[in-house]
């Protein structure tokens, strides 16, 4: 039940290789917190256990903000990754692709805004910068992050949904893009770019095993 559920989000990246081993691709952060907000002894204890294994852990008293911020960024990048089949850094470095990413982020960000859940920038999850201010500034921020990834040699990172596509697996469309559209209907929010992405990825997924 909900009383036994913690809020969590992660920016740690990995990829399952063809032989079955796992390649570590991005050293991000594992965020934990109580729902809908706050911290507790059990959160601190679990965070300490994870930190002792070498994982970067951060306890957040506003975990819903972290979760929605991660969701907004994922929703802006995932469909673009599937349609371009590019690595993350390569998508981010291209101006036109970055513009579409920013458009998707701004549409999706309307949902937490309606729910009065603020977005913020959490390291690699820069949802607030993506979804507010002039879109040109958001595009520039995306470009800068892509250049930073390339400079650091973080060029292998790919969105998990793209990895599924390349393995011929069905895509997680309903739980991601589909959820946004259903929530948009519930909150009376139009998401035209999200809907276009949903229909394209649903069509692609239909032909996968």
Domain containing 85 — which CATH number? 1.10.1040.10
- Site of tokens 């992405």: 197
Check pLDDT > 70 for residue 209.
Answer: no
Whether residue 73 lies inside any domain: the answer is: yes
Residues 99-137: tens digit of each pLDDT: 999 999 999 999 999 999 999 998 888 999 999 999 999
- pLDDT on residue 11: 86
User: Phi then psi for 120, rounded to 5 degrees?
Assistant: -150, 175
Structural domain containing residue 110: 63-206
Q: What is the pLDDT of residue 154?
A: 86
Mean pLDDT rounded to a whole number for the chain: 93
The pTM (predicted TM-score) of the whole model is: 0.90
């Amino acid at each position: 039940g909900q009383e036994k559920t913690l809020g969590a989000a992660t920016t740690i990246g990995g990829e399952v290789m063809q032989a079955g081993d796992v390649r570590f691709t991005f050293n991000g952060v594992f965020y934990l917190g109580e729902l809908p907000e706050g911290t507790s002894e059990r959160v601190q204890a679990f965070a300490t256990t994870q930190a002792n294994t070498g994982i970067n852990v951060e306890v957040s008293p506003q975990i819903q903000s972290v979760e929605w911020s991660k969701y907004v960024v994922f929703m802006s990048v995932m469909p673009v990754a599937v349609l371009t089949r590019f690595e993350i850094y390569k998508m981010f470095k291209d101006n036109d692709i970055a513009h579409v990413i920013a458009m998707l982020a701004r549409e999706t960000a309307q949902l937490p805004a309606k729910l009065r859940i603020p977005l913020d920038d959490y390291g690699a999850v820069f949802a607030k910068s993506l979804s507010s201010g002039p879109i040109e500034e958001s595009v520039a921020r995306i470009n800068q992050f892509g250049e930073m990834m390339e400079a650091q040699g973080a060029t292998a990172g790919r969105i998990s949904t793209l990895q599924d596509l390349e393995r011929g697996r069905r895509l997680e469309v309903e739980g991601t893009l589909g959820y946004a559209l259903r929530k948009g209907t519930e909150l009376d929010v139009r998401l035209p770019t999200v809907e276009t992405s949903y229909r394209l990825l649903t069509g692609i997924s239909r032909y996968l095993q």
